[in-house]
Structure 1
Amino acid sequence: MEPIKIIDAPACPLPLANVDTDQLIPARFMKEPRSVGYGRFLLHDLRHDESGRPVETFILNHPQATQAKTLVARRNFGAGSSREAAVYALVDFGLRCVIAPSFGDIFASNAVNNGLLPATVSEADAEALLTALGDAPGTLHVDLETQRISTGELSVAFTIAPTWRTKLLNGWDDIDMTRQHAQAIQRFAGDYANQRPWLKATPVTKIITRS
């Protein structure tokens, strides 16, 4: 995964709470291979009317939304089913960060494993960021090292689990997190084997009997 340290790019305001994974990518699109680009399905039923035409006033249909790297929403973002495709849709759209007061637990874990930063802010700070952005994409500066988000004179803190922060800063997955302890694991394995020699496999001698 590509490491995340600083994201300095347009951000889309999405002043909605309880945006669940079925909204992020409706189930009917999950039969498609990811190679088609799941970004086209992101929030599909909010981006389009009943006839399938784009809703011009919806934020992701704004001309500058294609350059956005961050999404700002209200509480309980990513609730619902555990479908990882919801994260695929956000990442394939080009997003690297979602800012909200709270996230669905499984969604947040899936996000980190796919290089998407779930930045948790207070409800008051989320509202301040949404107000600062208004009705159109605006630039947000997201600094994962200092865990600050800023735009103009507004600067707010965000939280993220330390392990997730480490993974995103380095572009690591779970295997990479384990590999950083490779020497300690090897020492432990060696010590364990020396203390318990009876665990070592003993060659089996084939016994041939005569009838």
Structure 2
Amino acid sequence: MSEPCLIDFLEASPWRTCLGDAQMDRVHADSSLRGFAAGSTVCLRGSPAMHWLGVADGMLKVDTIAADGRSTTFAGVPAGAWFGEGAALKGEPRPYAVVALRHSQVAFIPRATFLWLIDDSQAFSRWVIDQLNARLGHYVALVESFRLRDLTTRVAYSLAELYNPQLYPGTRRELVISQEEIARLCGLSRPNLNRELHRLEEAGYLRIGYGAIEVLDLDGLQRFSRSG
């Protein structure tokens, strides 16, 4: 992605309306865009949180690896989303790793610029608070989904949360995502994921395509994901 596309991405971001032109001039000057191949690490667990991150293209996952080698995925991050506010605010090492699920373009805004925006714009500060609140709700529901609910509900939740209006406002009804990628997000094997997707398809919530999932009934999928 070229530099003009970085500017387009920044200008289309949901927090853009919180800032004036002079504030955006600094964002444009300080930001950078980097490409990551599928499977590559964007941020290591324990690395300094020196940037606030946005997904200009592709999809990332936020996860951690236990001492026994098992990986737990906390979230999928689709194109158009921004994340990492908490780590950037605290200035502590990241408690998670960020990995590209497919070839992705990631925007980096330096922590100093991010903190300056919070101090300089009350509207931006409020947007960040809303973002943190939505993310907290996501993680609470994620723990409940993985511990208390059956596999079908877990898959439904992992897909429905990609449409969280605060965290991921730009997600389209047709998700260009492979079953392997969904399996990684849900923490399931590919065969188990395939079985659960077909159950959701039979219920009328989605349609399975080649390398894509089309969500037919988002409201129903979201209700089902919270009902297990």
Structure with higher helix content: 2
Task: Give the TM-score normalised by structure 2.
Answer: 0.28
- In the superposition, the TM-score normalised over structure 1's length comes to 0.29
Greater fraction strand: 2
Tell me which of the two structures has the higher relative contact order, counting C-alpha pairs closer than 8 angstroms and 6 or more residues apart. 1
